[in-house]
Structure 1
Amino acid sequence: MDSHIAVRFDDDRAYVTLDRPDKHNGLTIGMLEGLVDAARTVGRRDGVRAVILSGNGPSFSSGLDVAKATGDPLAMARNFIPLPWRGTNTFQEACWAWRRLPVPVIAAVHGRCFGGGLQIALAADIRFATPDAEFSVMEARHGLVPDMTGAATLSRLVGMDKALLLTMTADTVDAAYAARIGLVTEVSDDPIATAEALADRIATRSPHAVAGAKRLFERSWQASTRRTLAIERATQLPLIVRLAGRRGDR
């Protein structure tokens, strides 16, 4: 079965592309499983310093292909059950797997970025979007709520009130508004080129410091101040030891 997920490596970068362009990259169960496998493939590859996540064709992703996904109720049910050692089901892991990687994941968004597609983009560390990109937390249109880690990312990025507004209305918003509220990082005419330029800049920094920064902010995002400071110390200590070791070797 074709997962419609393409993975390509170029020097120290991994390119992961949603590749079902004739359906605006509407997500199938196979694509979600393919995203999980792609993240594992990238994680096993030595030397990767950044991941660029994008969509082929007219859109990043129009969200879950409901007709296709619900056509196999057993597969839906099987993939809805979380794995106890992972804490996520397949729908969630297709997004959260990118948070587990120690390298920056940059989403390059264009066209439609709806529903599950938006939740995949939100699970990236940074999002660049074309001026004509459109965004919608569209689950309410189907009588549902976001369940692909959107509850763990949306309110953190835009605040509780904006998260509720987007979720309850299922409105479609443009890139300028998305950037203004923090749903995307920046608007760019060429988000892939912008992502590549950022990846080049980050690659000049210590990979251990970059991984530590990602881990630090992920673990402390909603922690108490006391817990955050403990996480800071735990993250910094091995970096200090590594730095001291390098200087001692000179």
Structure 2
Amino acid sequence: MDESNRVLVSVEGGIARVSLNRPDKHNGLDQQMMTGLIQAAKSVARNRSVRVVVLTGNGPSFCSGLDFSYVSKNPGMVPRFFIKWPWAKDNGFQRVANIWRKVPVPVIAALHGNCFGGALQIALACDYRIAQPDARFSIMEMKWGIIPDMSATVTLPRLTSLDIAQELTMTGRVFSAQEAKEYGLISRLAANALEEACDMAGQIAQNSPDAIAAAKYLYRKTWNRSERTALFWERWVQLKLLGRKNQRIAMHNGLKGSADQRPFVDRRSF
């Protein structure tokens, strides 16, 4: 099975739906799945008609994490993804998750079933995480004698406290969706996570695609930065938005209300 079958991508109404598609293995991460995820992120990032992404998993789980059975039979996968090129910030393992932070539009993860190890790190790299009450989570790397190395050290500090991150990492225990919500790792619980994610994506997609991309860019640049730095980036990003065609359309639509609504044009990158 090639990467195009491992990860499915569809785009409709400005919403990209990216689906992990290895349901018989609970969407375990093998070489093809990891390559497919990186390719999917690059694809939606290049597509300027995309305003928001919904990331989900087909079958009984979002993703069960790295498929160690596959890795044991294909040991060459480890050096291929672990070695970092001198000009890159991340290696292949880190990029599978970290790349979703770099996608210029918001990424909403719809989580159900198992979300273990690398899967949780992918979810944490998304902008918003909606989980079903039956979802189960674990920073499971400790079980295999390793540490989480798919960008968790970038995302966990933005979402939870050091003691919680250390306890979950060092025990490797499985915890519930409710616990994940209490720890700050999950944004919202919903009986149908995918439906809720699609509803949220629909609301976002109605707004100016330039402003949507600008908001993600702004928060990535300013979160937990100094007041001076944050205020500078507010001014700079706003300056880049003012006068753009989509900003003029938004102004027109806002003044006209429901009458004479004009469609937005494809977003420009930030």
Matches of residues 27-106 of structure 1 in structure 2 within 5 Å? 27-106=29-108
Aligned twin of 2:156: 154
Aligned twin of 1:16: 18
Residue identity opposite 1:2 in structure 2: D
Structure 2, unpaired ranges of 5+ = 253-270
Hey, what's the Cα distance between the residues in 2 that align with 1:244 and 1:7?
A: 26
Aligned twin of 1:124: 126
TM value normalised by structure 2: 0.86
Structure 1, unpaired ranges of 5+ = none
User: For the Cα contact (< 8 Å) 2:209–2:246, is it kept in 1?
Assistant: no
Higher mean displacement: 5-14 or 108-117: 5-14
Deviation at residue 199 of structure 1 after TM alignment: 0.9
Hey, what's the Cα distance between the residues in 2 that align with 1:233 and 1:161?
A: 36
Aligned equivalent of 1:163, options 162, 165, 174: 165
Q: Measured at CA, do residues 48 and 244 of structure 1 come closer, stay the same or move farther in structure 2, by a change above 3 Å?
A: closer
Hey, what's the Cα distance between the residues in 2 that align with 1:245 and 1:218?
A: 21
SS at match of 1:8: strand
Q: Measured at CA, do residues 245 and 48 of structure 1 come closer, stay the same or move farther in structure 2, by a change above 3 Å?
A: closer
Hey, what's the Cα distance between the residues in 2 that align with 1:233 and 1:168?
A: 42
Q: Which 4+ stretches in 1 moved above 4 angstroms?
A: none
Cα deviation code 1:167-216 (max 9, x no counterpart):
11111111111112211110001111111111111122221221111111
SS at match of 1:124: coil
Deviation at residue 2 of structure 1 after TM alignment: 2.0
Hey, what's the Cα distance between the residues in 1 that align with 2:183 and 2:175?
A: 11
User: For the Cα contact (< 8 Å) 1:29–1:76, is it kept in 2?
Assistant: no
Residue identity opposite 1:51 in structure 2: V
Matches of residues 79-228 of structure 1 in structure 2 within 5 Å? 79-228=81-230
Hey, what's the Cα distance between the residues in 2 that align with 1:204 and 1:240?
A: 19
SS at match of 1:208: helix
SS at match of 2:191: coil
Deviation at residue 218 of structure 1 after TM alignment: 1.2
User: For the Cα contact (< 8 Å) 1:70–1:76, is it kept in 2?
Assistant: no
User: For the Cα contact (< 8 Å) 2:15–2:202, is it kept in 1?
Assistant: no
Number of residue pairs the alignment of both structures matches:
249
User: For the Cα contact (< 8 Å) 1:212–1:235, is it kept in 2?
Assistant: yes
Aligned twin of 2:2: 2
Residue identity opposite 1:223 in structure 2: R
Hey, what's the Cα distance between the residues in 1 that align with 2:243 and 2:13?
A: 29
Hey, what's the Cα distance between the residues in 2 that align with 1:215 and 1:46?
A: 15
User: For the Cα contact (< 8 Å) 2:37–2:96, is it kept in 1?
Assistant: yes
User: For the Cα contact (< 8 Å) 2:14–2:49, is it kept in 1?
Assistant: yes
Deviation at residue 133 of structure 1 after TM alignment: 0.4
Hey, what's the Cα distance between the residues in 2 that align with 1:55 and 1:245?
A: 35
Hey, what's the Cα distance between the residues in 2 that align with 1:152 and 1:234?
A: 25
